[in-house]
């Protein structure tokens, strides 16, 4: 395990030549808690895939989202994965990924990029983030390794002025409609028994009802 991880890290380090790494599949990595997944997530993923001609976008469900740990209860990872899996079924180019769940422990992007490259060494990884996340990259674990290995895709919402590109990164920007959808507001609506129709994909709503998620706080 340690040897394989070290090889993955060397792969990351070798790709710091300023050019898009790899010559294989253009792979988007869109990580999140997805608690719950909503249409804003799917719009960001599909528009990024089409704008950048990505072969696929992995919707990576966080196992333990370290930035949220202790701040609020988080729905179990397996249930969040089921929601995402239901939401992307039949959507071309989008895949639910459980790589962080299977790895266990806190979820760090650097480890996920390493796992993607270990599975497909020639892949060209594109890490997809919102503009708010792009402004806080300095808090990420081993961020220099990520910067050398990936192209950063910053998703800007309509009606919001784009910020500056993070220095030192290969950056692509994708603009999406002005969708102001909050997972925390959706959770509250679900707790109160109110509708989330047209905000959460129908298949994910069916999963929420089937698993009786968000009902424990009613």
Complete edge-to-edge strand list for the sheet that includes strand 94-97: 94-97, 56-61, 26-32, 124-130, 151-157, 170-176
Q: What is the pLDDT of residues 73-86, one digit of tens each?
A: 899 999 999 999 99
In this prediction, what percent of the chain has a pLDDT beyond 70?
Answer: 86
3, exposed or middle or buried, with CB in 10 Å at 0-12, 13-18, 19+?
Answer: exposed
Q: What is the pLDDT of residues 31-77, one digit of tens each?
A: 999 999 999 999 999 999 999 999 999 999 999 987 666 668 899 99
Tokens of 204: 């994910």
The CA distance from 38 to 43, in Å, is: 9
**pLDDT confidence band for 113 (50 / 70 / 90):** very high
Range ranked top by mean pLDDT from 125-129, 132-136, 175-179:
125-129
Domain boundaries, the chain: 22-211
pLDDT at 128 over 90: yes
Q: What is the 3-state secondary structure (H, E, C) of the chain?
A: CHHHHHHHHHHHHHCCCCCCCCCCCEEEEEEECCCCCCHHHHHHHHHHHHHHCCCEEEEEECCECCCCCCCCCCCCHHHHHHHHHHHHCCCCCEEEECHHHHHCCECCHHHHHHHHHHHCCCCEEEEEEEHHHHCCHHHCCCHHHHHHHCEEEEEEECCCCCCCCCCCCEEEEEEECCCCCCHHHHHHHHHCCCCCECCECHHHHHHHHHHCCCCCCC
pLDDT at 129 over 50: yes
Q: Tell me what the pLDDT averaged over the chain comes to.
A: 89
pLDDT at 217 over 60: no
pLDDT at 20 over 80: no
Q: What is the CATH number of domain 22-211?
A: 3.40.50.620
């Amino acid at each position: 395990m340690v040897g394989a991880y070290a090889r993955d890290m060397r792969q990351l380090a070798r790709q710091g030549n300023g050019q898009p790494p790899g010559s294989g599949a253009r792979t988007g990595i869109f990580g999140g808690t997805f608690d719950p997944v909503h249409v804003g997530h799917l719009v960001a993923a599909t528009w990024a895939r089409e704008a950048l001609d990505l072969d696929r976008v992995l919707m990576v469900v966080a196992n333990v989202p370290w930035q949220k740990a202790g701040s609020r209860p988080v729905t179990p990872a397996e249930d969040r994965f089921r929601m995402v899996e239901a939401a992307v079924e039949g959507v071309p180019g989008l895949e639910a990924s459980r790589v962080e769940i299977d790895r266990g422990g806190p979820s760090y992007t650097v480890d996920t990029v390493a796992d993607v490259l270990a599975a497909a060494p020639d892949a060209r990884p594109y890490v997809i983030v919102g503009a708010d996340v792009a402004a806080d990259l300095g808090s990420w674990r081993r961020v220099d390794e990520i910067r050398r290995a990936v192209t950063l895709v910053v998703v800007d919402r309509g009606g919001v002025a784009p910020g500056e590109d993070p220095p030192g990164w290969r950056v692509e920007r994708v603009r999406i409609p002005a969708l102001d959808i909050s997972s925390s507001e959706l959770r509250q609506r679900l707790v109160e028994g109110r509708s989330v129709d047209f905000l959460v994909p129908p298949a994910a709503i069916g999963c929420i009802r089937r698993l009786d998620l968000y009902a424990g706080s009613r």
